[in-house]
Amino acid sequence: MTVSVRDTEEHLTFGRRIAVRIAESLRSAAGAFDPDRLDRRDAALVARLEAISGFLNEHYLGLQTEGFDELPEGPALYVGNHNGGIAGPDLCCTLGTLWRARGPEAPLYALAHDFVMRQISPVGALLQRLGGLRATPEVALRALAAGAQVLVYPGGDLDAYRHARRSDTIVLGPRTGFVRVAQEAGVPIVPIVAQGAHRSAYIFSEGERIAQLLSLKRWARLERFPLAFALPWGVAVGPWLPYFPLPFPVRLRALSPIEAPRSIAPEVIREEVRRTMQHHLDELVEASRRRPKP
């Protein structure tokens, strides 16, 4: 698709406006910062970023989506598979698509890593303006009780920093907190599967041993210290170094809701969610292999 000069200028103007809002968010973080507040979401900033993310998703990542016209109304827990770490494009694609489907005013939140929200308050303040909340069960339950929809990546670093040879594998690990939240809140789990996003960088080592030597789990709640081939660094070291994602096509598929009754063990529901997501990821991978090359 051809991008006109006018379109480019309009999006650059959006970018300048966003830069101002970001600066305001960073300045506001100089004072007291509560990472659990629900009332700091900035719908105007979300609307501007939705326009930018939509442009990038379409023209850079070639994003294709399915199922987002059938999202449930009311509180729900969106569960995604995490890819590529801090600069992986799946979050931009997923949030941007949800913003477009729900509208910027809709109460949509995303759970962000506890370390970032508490220890790097300027970044936490910015994420909060976009609907970011500290990733704890208590905060998620409070948002759902208020009628919001919440996006979570339960695989966390285990999923985001998995080796490139496992790029087409759903990794949730032993974690069941997201299921318990859905059970207690009485809301459905809505899986969203991303395919292609893990190719944004080539992770050649998950760095589990390095993470253990650095005691990351104790002070940063991380179990991986990835090493990756990524732009512009060549080799990107660690979980916090941003990089420029490669422009591989990304496909998103929103699935049918999965109920989470309290009468069923969380481990059983987690496995149903993982198995369902893996089935659809396998379908997306197979479809991408059959698709003619441009």
pLDDT in tens, 88-125: 888 899 999 999 999 999 999 999 987 778 777 788 88
> How is domain 5-290 classified at the CATH fold level?
Glycerol-3-phosphate (1)-acyltransferase (3.40.1130)
Distances (CA, A) of 279 to 253, 270, 276: 12, 14, 5
111: alpha, beta or left? (left if phi > 0; alpha if psi -120 to 50): beta
Domain ranges, ordered by start, for the chain? 5-290
What is the helix, strand, coil percentage profile of the chain, to 5? Answer: 50, 15, 35
Q: Give the other-Cβ count within 10 Å of 232's Cβ.
A: 7
Render pLDDT for 195-228 as a digit per residue (tens, 0 to 9). Answer: 999 999 999 999 999 999 999 999 888 999 999 9
The residue to which tokens 């996003």 are assigned: 197
Q: Of 90, 81, 76, which is closest to residue 140 (Cα–Cα)?
A: 76
Task: Give the angle 12-13-16 at the CA atoms, nearest 5°.
Answer: 90
Least confident of 40-54, 112-126, 158-172, 274-288: 112-126
**Which residue reads 């974690």 in tokens?**
175
Q: How many angstroms separate the CA atoms of 18 and 49, rounded?
A: 7
Residues 108 and 149: beta-carbon distance below 8 Å: yes
pTM to 2 decimals? 0.87
